[in-house]
Amino acid sequence: MRRSAARRGPQARGKPVVDAVLEAARAELAAMGFGALSMERVAERAGVNKTTVYRRYPTKVDLLHAALAEEKAAFPLVDHGDLRGDLVHLVLAASQFMCDRMGKCIFRALLTEPGDPELEELMQRMRQDGEREPRLLFQRAIARGELSPDVDVALLMSAVIGPVVHRVFCERQPFDRREAEDLVDVLLDGASAARRGEIPRARRTVRRPKARARRHRNA
């Protein structure tokens, strides 16, 4: 048994044991991936009896949901009084989490094992949690008149977070503040243009001008 486990003792109670279990769950997820993670290994790493883990978290999904929710709480959304400031903070917080060693391992572990029903359940819970705070952010923006009431919040969130995922995992670079501000400005300019009716909602088909096509054939 680990020294930390012996020091805690198997009968540890209260917040310290919960913190230890959730920390161990994140470490096991990062090290082993979702499929290979076991409640027994989490209990051993945390230095508690496995019944202690099962009593609080009956399933692996329950355990990881709680562990990842606690990790997410370390990056709270801040009300800056305007949507631009809120979204810049969101981009930087997401980039910081994904660039963190633990965050990067967790993110990859969750994305590399598709088709597992338990993992799908966990991802669904995380999506619901992940939309809750940003929805409040966008609701405040709508109340201030910064966004149209019929804005597609899910699409806007994807447009904000998608570039962060690409930058961190494909380009292996974090976002700095200037880049975060540039990204948010592009998105908000597009949202504002759509609200003013400058961007038609119907998709247009781009066709080649006939006269130009004939000149090309005769050349």
pLDDT in tens, 146-165: 888 888 887 888 888 889 98
Are both 38 and 110 inside the same structural domain?
no
pLDDT at 98: 84
Shared domain for 42 and 93, answered yes or no, is no
The DSSP result for 60-119, as a single string, is: HHHHHHHHHHHHHTTS-----SSHHHHHHHHHHHHHHHHHSHHHHHHHHHHHS-TT-HHH
What's the pLDDT band for 197 if we cut at 50, 70, 90? low
Tell whether 116 is covered by a domain: yes
Average pLDDT score over the chain = 79
Looking at the structure, tell me whether residues 172 and 93 fall in a common domain.
yes
In angstroms, the CA 151 to CA 153 distance is: 6
What average pLDDT score do residues 27-32 get?
89
Return the exposure string of 118-140: e unless at least 16 CB atoms fall within 10 Å of the residue's CB, then b.
ebeebbebbeeebeeebeebbeb
| Pair (126, 42) in one structural domain | no
Q: For 129-148, what is each residue's pLDDT tens digit?
A: 766 777 788 888 889 888 88
pLDDT for the residue numbered 3: 38
CATH of the domain at 55: 1.10.10.60
Is residue 180 domain-shared with residue 108, that is, in the same domain? yes
**How many domains is the chain partitioned into structurally?**
2
Query: CA 214 to CA 209: how far, in whole Å?
Result: 9
Range of the domain at 27: 3-60
Give the Cα separation of 219 and 27 in Å (integer): 66
Do 51 and 127 share a domain, yes or no?
Answer: no
Ranges 76-80, 129-133, 179-183, 185-189: which has the least confidence: 129-133
At 92, which CATH number?
1.10.357.10
Same domain, 83 and 144: yes
By the 8 A CB rule, do 8 and 31 touch? no
Q: Do residue 20 and residue 111 come from a single domain?
A: no
